[in-house]
């Protein structure tokens, strides 16, 4: 479990605008929330602060985090989309589905607030700096099953290529379904074969326009 916000931080989060997630607080309070991944500072003047998808989840009272996979980048926050291959058993129950749905809606709001013209059909800056988590959230929110320690399911991993993640799924039909989901979420997707073994996988990058 991630350490919960302090009482002062929680008051700032609870007082956020219920629609936009805009925050009001002291510079130190806002900086602390940014450091923990619960808020971000808008790059354009007046540089207001807004809740991240994790921050929205804290505001709704969801405080627990499953352990991330070893290959996934560690980051602060209270929610982690399943990237596939986690040691913890895959939870597909109603509570998890509600958490994922809430995180996805928060991400769409983040797109609306930060993309030019309020566009929600393509990834935002936060997603470009959290590629694995962002792609995994799009897949999990669409109902795709993450891989457990063994067996089928998707796995999202970093790649040496800038702004690209690899998506592995042993079932060919399920892999194509993952591609369709990511394309619908604003990602550019191409299918490739691994040099050894010829296993198919996806390369996905956030679409810019």
What residues contact 12, with CB distance under 8 A and at least 6 apart?
Answer: 23, 24, 25, 29, 30, 33
H-run or E-run covering 7: helix 7-14
**How long is the chain?**
209
Radius of gyration of the CA atoms of the chain, in A:
17
From first to last of its 209 residues, the chain has per-residue pLDDT tens of 356 788 888 889 888 887 677 898 888 889 899 888 888 887 777 788 888 877 877 877 644 333 333 233 333 334 678 999 887 776 777 888 888 888 898 889 889 888 888 899 999 988 998 999 999 999 999 999 999 877 789 999 999 988 999 999 999 999 999 999 999 999 999 999 988 878 899 999 999 87
Model pTM greater than 0.85?
Answer: no
């Amino acid at each position: 479990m991630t350490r919960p916000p302090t009482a002062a931080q929680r008051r700032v989060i609870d007082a956020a605008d219920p629609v936009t997630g805009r925050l009001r607080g002291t510079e130190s309070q806002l900086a602390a929330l940014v450091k923990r991944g619960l808020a971000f500072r808008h790059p354009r003047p007046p540089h207001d602060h807004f809740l991240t998808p994790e921050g929205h989840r804290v505001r709704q009272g969801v405080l627990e985090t499953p352990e991330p996979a070893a290959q996934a980048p560690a980051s602060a926050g209270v929610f982690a989309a399943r990237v596939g291959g986690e040691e913890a058993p895959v939870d597909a129950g109603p509570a998890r589905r509600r958490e994922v749905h809430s995180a996805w809606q928060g991400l769409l709001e983040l797109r609306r607030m930060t993309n030019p013209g309020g566009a929600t059909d393509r990834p935002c800056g936060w997603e470009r700096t959290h590629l694995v988590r962002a792609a995994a959230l799009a897949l999990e929110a669409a109902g795709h099953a993450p891989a457990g320690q063994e067996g089928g399911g998707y796995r999202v991993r970093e790649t040496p290529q800038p702004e690209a993640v690899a998506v592995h799924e042993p079932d060919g039909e399920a892999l194509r379904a993952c591609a369709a989901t990511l394309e619908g979420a604003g990602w550019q997707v191409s299918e490739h074969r691994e040099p050894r073994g010829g296993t198919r996988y996806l390369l996905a990058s956030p679409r810019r326009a």
